[in-house]
Amino acid sequence: MDRILIRGGNRLSGRLPISGAKNAALTLMPCALLTDEPLTLRNLPRLADVDGFGHLLNQLGASTSIEGTNPQDFGRVMTIRAGKLTSTEAPYDIVRKMRASILVLGPLLGRGGEATVSLPGGCAIGNRPIDLHLRALEAIGAELEMAAGYVKAIAPGGRLSGGRYRFPIVSVGATENVVMAAVLARGTSVIENAAREPEIVDLCNCLVAMGASIDGIGTETLTIEGRDRLHGATYAVMPDRIEAGSYACAAAITGGSLDLIGISSESMGATFDALVEAGVTLTPIKDGVRVEAGDTLKPLTLSTAPYPGFATDMQAQFMAMLCKADGASVLTETIFENRYMHVPELARMGADIQVRGRTAVVRGVDKLVGAPVMATDLRASMSLILAGLAADGETSVGRVYHLDRGYERLEEKLSAVGADIERASDG
């Protein structure tokens, strides 16, 4: 099993390219199931989750081909052809490894009129039921049953009717699933209290490029006029705002300066607002944003919230960064109830963090020290990388398969801007 070894203390400096967004890519790939024509996705990140989702699409009868074979290139161009679906079942062996697999439910139901999908897996960061997915699909005409760990959905008469649904709470995945199902419904669907994340906007823009009719993109109310069919398209995956935020934290915690290439301040919202409050300087440049650490990091009070609030996917990285702040910070996690599993690992490195329920108090320390630590989920693993970059001595991060799910060539990118970091195998 691989480990990441970091010898901390280096100030990061230079240009760092931001890859295509993992969360957007895993939403755009199942769009290919909605048409018998090819969907070509550009700027697709090289990630284990992307490869896994491609394998799931293959299981359903879609072919995937990648343009170019240069392993040094960041991003890929993938063409997905689902001319004929050979299966409408997403099996447990694949779905259990990746929660995003549930996103084939809506497209399969919309195009084929039926779908059988295993309950999902993914990071163990708390209870993430799919009841909102199912309620929304029922509201637009699906008939559902659950048995033996699978959801079986049917559109009576082979096609969804359309309808109206208001989410009781904002759900990104459920919004994505019902939108993909609704674009091929017979009638109109109105989705209220829809998630507004940039990745939702990216999904809707891709679907429109394929011929869908969606009004209200970027707002909490989406009106979708069902179409008889969609066509193929070529679409570029948006830059990864979570990766960009993570590397911005890397610049801040090491006292460095990084040019994040391919991202814009406008797309970063609450993450960049929080960095500025912490004393970090952000400057737009021609092809991205320059992130420069201040003389000292200021403590923050942050609470995670649905977009446009502070993203739960940035909580762990900010916690690591704030371990070096001058004072006490307060972080409150409102989205997932079990997303502080990185705290004991950070404590092994000298962090002073107290957790009370969903609130963590982070008191800045003079120094962090390298230690063997274990990643528990994707974003938690990045928090350990960040702590290792600032720590005295060597940090060994285990279970890096979590990192490989969401960060494209992390050690290569960080090495290029001055980090002493490498991947090692235990054999």
> Which residues are annotated binding-site positions for UDP-N-acetyl-alpha-D-glucosamine?
99, 128-132, 313, 335
**Look-up: residue for tokens 């950070």?**
346
Cβ-based neighbours of 386, under 8 Å, separated by 6 or more: 246, 249, 250, 253, 317, 320, 321
CB 422 within 8 A of CB 409: no
Query: Counting beta carbons within 10 angstroms of the beta carbon of residue 67, is it exposed (0 to 12), middle (13 to 18) or buried (19 or more)?
Result: exposed
Cα separation, 399 vs 32, in Å, equals 32
Other Cβ atoms less than 10 A from the Cβ of 138: the count is: 15
Picking from 190, 188, 187, the residue whose alpha carbon sits closest to that of residue 166 is 190
Cα separation, 53 vs 75, in Å, equals 16
Other Cβ atoms less than 10 A from the Cβ of 268: the count is: 24
In the structure encoding, which two tokens stand for residue 396, read together?
A: 């060994």
Q: Residue 160: phi, psi to the nearest 5?
A: -70, 155
Cα separation, 404 vs 381, in Å, equals 10
**Look-up: residue for tokens 């897996």?**
121
C-alpha distances in Å from residue 107, one per residue of 38, 66, 325: 15, 22, 46
Query: What residues are labeled active site?
Result: 123
Helix, strand, coil % in the chain, rounded to nearest 5 = 35, 30, 40
Binding site for phosphoenolpyruvate, by residue number, is: 22-23
CB 197 within 8 A of CB 240: no
Cα separation, 43 vs 35, in Å, equals 21
Binding site, by residue number, is: 22-23, 99, 128-132, 313, 335
**Look-up: residue for tokens 């979590």?**
402
